[in-house]
């Protein structure tokens, strides 16, 4: 499980700092696309997203002779094209979460990682700075909605957790509680890392509490 905020910052920084050289519109757009793609996996979806964003920025007159722009200029673009940055934000998060695999996908909410990241990547204007996307602020504000379901899905897909002595419903209930508490305790980090030792201790504590209160029961 990886949060992917660092990748988001890389691709947005590429746009905010300089999309390339050349004074013609085609040169600016081409250079912008080349730099933006450097921060993404080269897929058809990534190429479409980059092309759309760079073209929209050029058409709005936001790229200077060197292809540079600012956070305020991007916010101007978002007023007329509110979803301009969302596809790239989603692609970055999806590529770095590493959760939407054939094994874990069945345990995710409807729409999977795509739906989770689409919600997280809406209305990015408040998180833009002249240095790129404020990944920490975005993570604090919206990370829970992505990381907790991903944490639950990955946990449910684990062979170890599938062998727990509880019903499927109780296992999901337990792992959901653990993942939510892990977020609340700051154990799920923006770079995708997890405080494994603390998470294990938290899981043991929550399991005991839920067993003692009868919220989950051991199968006969």
Higher local confidence (pLDDT), 39 or 87: 87
- How is the chain split into domains, by residue range? 5-142, 158-220
Give the up-direction half-sphere exposure of residue 125: CA atoms within 13 A in the CB hemisphere: 13
Model confidence at 220, pLDDT cuts 50, 70, 90, reads confident
Residue 39 has pLDDT above 80, yes or no: no
pLDDT score recorded for residue 183: 94
pLDDT score recorded for residue 68: 64
Mean pLDDT of the chain: 81
Residue 33 has pLDDT above 90, yes or no: no
pLDDT score recorded for residue 12: 54
Report the C-alpha gap between 158 and 181 in whole angstroms: 19
Residues 186-201 have a mean pLDDT of 85
Residues 154-169 have a mean pLDDT of 94
Coil/strand/helix, residue 129: strand
H or E element that contains 128: strand 128-129
Report the C-alpha gap between 218 and 220 in whole angstroms: 6
pLDDT score recorded for residue 75: 82
168-190 pLDDT tens trace:
999 999 999 999 999 999 998 87
Q: Which of 83-87, 119-123, 204-208 has the lowest mean pLDDT?
A: 83-87
Which pair of structure tokens corresponds to residue 169? Answer: 């419903």
pLDDT score recorded for residue 37: 72
Q: Is 27 exposed, middle or buried (0-12, 13-18, 19+ CB in 10 A)?
A: middle
Q: Which of 17-31, 36-50, 147-161 has the lowest mean pLDDT?
A: 17-31
Which pair of structure tokens corresponds to residue 4? Answer: 């992917």
Burial string for 46-57 (b: 16+ CB within 10 Å, else e) reads beebbbebbebb
pTM exceeds 0.85: no
Contact 130, 183 (CB under 8 A): no
């Amino acid at each position: 499980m990886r949060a992917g905020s660092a990748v988001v910052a890389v691709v947005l920084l590429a746009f905010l700092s300089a999309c390339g050289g050349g004074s013609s519109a085609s040169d600016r757009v081409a250079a912008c696309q080349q730099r933006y793609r450097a921060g993404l996996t080269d897929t058809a979806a990534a190429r479409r997203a980059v092309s759309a964003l760079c073209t929209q920025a050029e058409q709005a007159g936001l790229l200077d002779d060197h292809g540079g722009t600012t956070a305020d200029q991007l916010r101007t673009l978002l007023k007329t094209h509110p979803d301009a940055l969302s596809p790239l934000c989603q692609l970055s998060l999806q590529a770095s979460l590493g959760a939407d695999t054939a094994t874990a996908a069945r345990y995710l909410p409807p729409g999977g990682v795509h739906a989770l990241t689409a919600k997280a990547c809406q209305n990015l204007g408040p998180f833009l700075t002249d240095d790129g996307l404020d990944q920490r602020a975005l993570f604090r504000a919206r990370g829970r909605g992505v990381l907790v379901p991903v944490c639950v899905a990955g946990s449910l897909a684990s062979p170890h957790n599938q062998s727990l002595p509880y019903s499927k419903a109780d296992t999901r209930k337990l792992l959901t509680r653990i993942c939510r508490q892990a977020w609340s305790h700051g154990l799920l980090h923006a770079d995708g890392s997890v405080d494994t030792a603390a998470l294990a201790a938290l899981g043991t504590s929550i399991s005991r509490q839920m067993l003692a209160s009868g919220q989950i029961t051991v199968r006969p």
